[in-house]
């Protein structure tokens, strides 16, 4: 019998369906320095690559996932997945290195179609795009709203209070005595910019502070000329100053403007434009451990990052209303450091910290959900103790993590659990799903609602 010719309308439908088959999902992974972004992205690729063996296998639409391809060809600055894997699967295992520049992740997922649709089109593809970057850069977003004089005022008020006042020490006085209208001294300016960088480093390492600006002083990234990073806040200045060419003020202001309008704006556009969904990763446990000032700074830092959404013509806030970002996952990271029954309390403390910002985001029509997350579980539970390896040591330790309050008190005074420096678990391999907490729930929620 001769093969039946396919009616033309079926061919046309097939052609259209093929055109519709490729979907894009841009996920913004937003997190301050050390929040766990790189480990999370590595874990995400690992869970997707091993979807058949992990918890995703039982969850729609991943039960129809046929193939996963981590794309490198044609991707500018691809994410160093293999380097991260090499560190994690080393003997002894190491965490991925802290990020020093922007990189991109592109993952293509191919889903099998079922039922009637499968006649028209056998597969649908989803391209997931994510950026990784040093967390320090995120803290520059609020600069988009400031001019140089306002920034100087803000820095003066930050340096007036502890712990920044003590950390800055003599630098604060040096910056305060400079007359902004006097002629600039390039060599001294260079020294002061170096001293400001050292101040930011100490704020981060000694006091666990989050708001360390300008972030590129800590991690410049490629393509930023070092001389453009030579400016400091002139503490005697204010928003009303106007100064002639060649003055301290003019020199610092010009570089501040370049920093704000090209470097920060460029990153903002790259990170925040065209996002479909967003994952906010927050290491809540370290600042809870460090104490009240670290928590206060974290709160202010996250609020200002979330507020960046509201500003500007190209603001996310407007897209929330449209709404373009339809889902925001808020995740307390590294919760494997506490007992499983304490993990929800860590998440609750994070949501307590961000109550106002999150209700504004919800008000804008965005779905918000919390996930106490561990992208990579470094601990194992045995009875009421946790078992894990410590960084720089062999063997395992058994310990009981301290308590986590059910809620964050309003004055942010908490006794956090004592944290140990854990190393990743032994025996990780690219072709086995990593142990984790709730990565499957999060990944499932991120793609929910995408027609696949």
Ligand X SMILES: Nc1nc2c(ncn2[C@@H]2O[C@H](COP(=O)(O)OP(=O)(O)OP(=O)(O)O)[C@@H](O)[C@H]2O)c(=O)[nH]1
* Residues that bind ligand X in the complex, under the rule CB under 6 A: 31, 33-39, 95-96, 98-99, 134-135, 333-334, 336-337, 374-376, 378, 422
3-state secondary structure of 382: strand
CB of 280 to ligand X, least distance (A): 12
**Quick one: what does residue 31 bind among ligand X, Mg ion, none, with the CB cut-off 5 to 8 Å set by partner type?**
ligand X
Q: How far apart are CA 10 and CA 36, in angstroms?
A: 48
Comparison of 37 and 319: residue with beta carbon closer to Mg ion: 37
Residue in 283, 375, 380 with CA at minimum distance from that of residue 88: 375
* Binds 36: which of ligand X, Mg ion, none (CB < 5-8 Å by kind): ligand X
At closest approach, how far in Å is the CB of 98 from Mg ion?
6
* Shortest spacing between CB 87 and Mg ion, in angstroms: 12
Q: Which does 376 bind (CB under 5 to 8 A by kind): Mg ion, ligand X, none?
A: ligand X
Q: How far is the CB of 207 from ligand X (least distance, A)?
A: 17
**88 CB burial (10 A radius; 0-12, 13-18, 19+):** buried
Residue with smaller CB distance to Mg ion, 100 or 125: 100
Nearer to ligand X, 237 or 433 (CB): 433
User: Which H helix or E strand runs over 173?
Assistant: helix 170-177
| From the list Mg ion, ligand X, none, partner contacted by residue 374 (C-beta under 5 to 8 A by kind) | ligand X
Residue number with CB closer to Mg ion (38 or 213): 38
Please, which residue, 80 or 189, has the CB nearer to ligand X? Answer: 80
Contact 331, 277 (CB under 8 A): no
Q: Which is nearer to Mg ion, 37 or 423 (CB)?
A: 37
| 422 binds, options Mg ion, ligand X, none, Cβ within 5 to 8 A by partner type | ligand X
Q: Which does 35 bind (CB under 5 to 8 A by kind): ligand X, Mg ion, none?
A: ligand X
In the complex, minimum distance from the CB of residue 130 to ligand X, in angstroms, rounded to a whole number:
12
Alpha-carbon Rg for the chain in angstroms: 25
Q: CB-wise, 38 or 348, nearer to ligand X?
A: 38
- Smallest gap from residue 96 Cβ to ligand X (A): 6
Q: Which helix (H) or strand (E) holds 49?
A: helix 37-49
**Contact assessment for residue 37 and residue 281, using Cβ atoms and an 8 Å cutoff:** yes
Name which of 30 and 38 has its Cβ closer to Mg ion: 38
- Of Mg ion, ligand X, none, which one does residue 50 interact with (CB within 5 to 8 Å by kind)? none
DSSP 52-83: TTSGGGGSTTGGGEEEEEEE-TT-SSB--HHH
Rounded CA separation 290/275 (Å): 33
Nearer to Mg ion by Cβ, of 11 and 98: the residue is: 98
Q: How far is the CB of 367 from ligand X (least distance, A)?
A: 24
Binding-site partner at residue 79 among Mg ion, ligand X, none, CB < 5 to 8 Å by type: none
How do 380-382 and 367-370 pair as beta strands?
unpaired
Q: Which is nearer to Mg ion, 50 or 99 (CB)?
A: 99
* Rounded Cα gap, residues 109 and 56, in angstroms: 13
**E strand residue ranges, 325-432:** 327-332, 367-370, 380-382, 385-388, 397-399
Specify the DSSP class assigned to residue 34: T
Residue 180's binding partner, choosing from ligand X, Mg ion, none, with beta-carbon cut-off 5 to 8 A by kind? Answer: none
Tell me which of Mg ion, ligand X, none is bound by residue 336, counting a contact when its beta carbon lies within the kind-specific cut-off of 5 to 8 angstroms: ligand X
Helix (H, G, I), strand (E, B) or coil at 232: coil
Quote the least distance from Cβ 357 to ligand X, whole Å: 20
Residues contacting 159, CB < 8 A, separation 6+: 165, 168, 172, 235
From the CB of 295, what's the least distance to ligand X, in Å? 18
Least distance (Å) between residue 38 CB and Mg ion: 3
Where does this chain bind Mg ion (CB under 5 A)?
A: 37-38, 99
- The beta-strand segments (E) located in 197-289 are 277-282
Q: Give counts: helices (H), strands (E), the chain.
A: 17, 10
| Distant-in-sequence, close-in-space partners of 107: CB < 8 Å, separation ≥ 6 | 45, 48, 68, 69, 70, 71, 127, 128
């Amino acid at each position: 019998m001769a093969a039946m010719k396919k009616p033309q309308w079926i061919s046309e439908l097939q052609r259209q369906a093929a055109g519709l088959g490729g979907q894009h999902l841009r996920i913004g992974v937003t997190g301050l320095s050390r929040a766990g972004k790189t480990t999370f992205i590595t874990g995400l690729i690992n869970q997707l690559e091993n979807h058949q063996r992990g918890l995703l296998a039982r969850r729609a639409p991943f039960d129809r996932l046929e193939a996963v391809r981590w794309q490198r060809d044609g991707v500018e600055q691809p994410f160093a997945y293999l380097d991260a894997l090499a560190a994690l699967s080393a003997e002894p295992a190491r965490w991925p290195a802290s990020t020093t520049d922007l990189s991109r992740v592109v993952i293509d997922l191919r889903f099998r179609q079922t039922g009637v649709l499968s006649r028209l089109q056998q597969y649908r593809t989803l391209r997931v795009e994510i950026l990784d970057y040093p967390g320090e850069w995120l803290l520059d977003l609020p600069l988009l709203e400031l001019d140089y004089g306002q920034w100087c005022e803000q820095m003066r008020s930050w340096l007036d209070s502890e712990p920044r006042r003590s950390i800055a020490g003599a630098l604060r006085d040096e910056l305060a005595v400079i007359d902004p209208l006097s002629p600039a001294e390039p060599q001294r300016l260079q020294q002061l910019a170096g001293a400001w960088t050292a101040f930011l480093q100490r704020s981060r390492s000694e006091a666990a502070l989050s708001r360390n600006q300008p972030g590129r002083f800590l991690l410049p990234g490629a393509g930023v000329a070092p001389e453009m990073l030579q400016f400091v806040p002139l503490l005697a200045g204010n928003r009303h100053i106007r100064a002639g060419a060649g003055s301290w003020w003019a020199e610092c202001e010009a570089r501040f403007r370049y920093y704000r309008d090209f470097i920060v704006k460029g990153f903002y556009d790259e990170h925040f434009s065209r996002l479909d969904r967003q994952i906010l990763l927050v290491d809540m446990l370290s600042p809870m451990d460090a104490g009240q000032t670290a928590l206060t700074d974290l709160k202010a830092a996250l609020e200002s990052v979330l507020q960046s959404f509201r500003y500007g013509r190209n603001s996310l806030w407007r897209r929330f209303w449209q709404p373009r970002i339809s889902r925001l996952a808020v995740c307390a990271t590294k919760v494997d450091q506490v007992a499983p029954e304490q993990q929800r309390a860590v998440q609750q403390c994070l949501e307590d910290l961000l109550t106002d910002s999150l209700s504004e985001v919800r008000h804008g029509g965005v779905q918000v959900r919390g996930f106490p997350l561990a992208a990579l579980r470094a601990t194992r539970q045995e009875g009421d103790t946790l078992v894990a390896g410590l960084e720089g040591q062999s063997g395992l330790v058994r310990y009981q993590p301290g308590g986590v309050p059910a809620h964050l008190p309003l004055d942010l005074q908490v006794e956090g659990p004592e944290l140990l420096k854990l190393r990743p678990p032994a025996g990780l391999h690219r072709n086995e799903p990593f142990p984790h907490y709730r990565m499957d729930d999060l990944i499932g929620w991120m793609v929910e609602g995408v027609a696949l």
